[in-house]
């Protein structure tokens, strides 16, 4: 799956980009018609340790899925966001089968 990575106000490490790409690629096992996606990585300026924010937007035929997670590391936030998208894809697929 083609993902565009956008790291806002910092440069993302290649290991992080590869990690997110591998996680997102696993979503294709649940729904094989994902067109593409965008990932936004951002560090919020606040006092808490959970200042890493990841937003993932997936384009699928006739719809768009979105997940936003905040955590103390980008890896943890990516895990949570991908899990959220997995649930959304599963729900979307069930709706398609119902028709």
Rounded to whole angstroms, the Cα distance separating 79 from 85 reads 10
8, β-bridge pairs = 42
Under the banding of pLDDT at 50, 70 and 90, the label for residue 12 is very high
pLDDT tens digits along 22-68? 999 999 999 999 999 999 999 999 888 889 999 999 999 999 999 99
Query: Hey, is 13 helix, strand or coil?
Result: coil
Tokens at 55, concatenated = 């937003």
Rounded to whole angstroms, the Cα distance separating 47 from 39 reads 24
Rounded to whole angstroms, the Cα distance separating 66 from 82 reads 10
Tokens at 99, concatenated = 């028709």
Q: Where are the beta strands (DSSP E) in 1-99?
A: 2-8, 36-43, 52-60, 63-71
Looking at the chain, the number of H-run helices and the number of E-run strands are: 2, 4
Q: Quote the pTM value.
A: 0.92
């Amino acid at each position: 799956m083609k993902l565009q990575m956008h790291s806002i106000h910092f440069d993302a490490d290649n290991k992080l980009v590869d990690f997110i790409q591998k996680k997102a690629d696993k979503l294709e096992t649940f729904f094989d018609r994902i067109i593409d996606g965008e990932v936004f990585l951002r560090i919020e300026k606040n006092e808490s340790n959970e200042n890493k924010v990841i937003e993932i937007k997936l384009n699928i035929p006739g719809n768009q899925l979105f997940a936003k997670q905040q955590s103390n590391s980008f890896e943890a936030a990516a895990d949570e966001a991908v899990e959220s998208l997995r649930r959304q894809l599963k729900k979307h697929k069930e709706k398609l089968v119902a028709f």
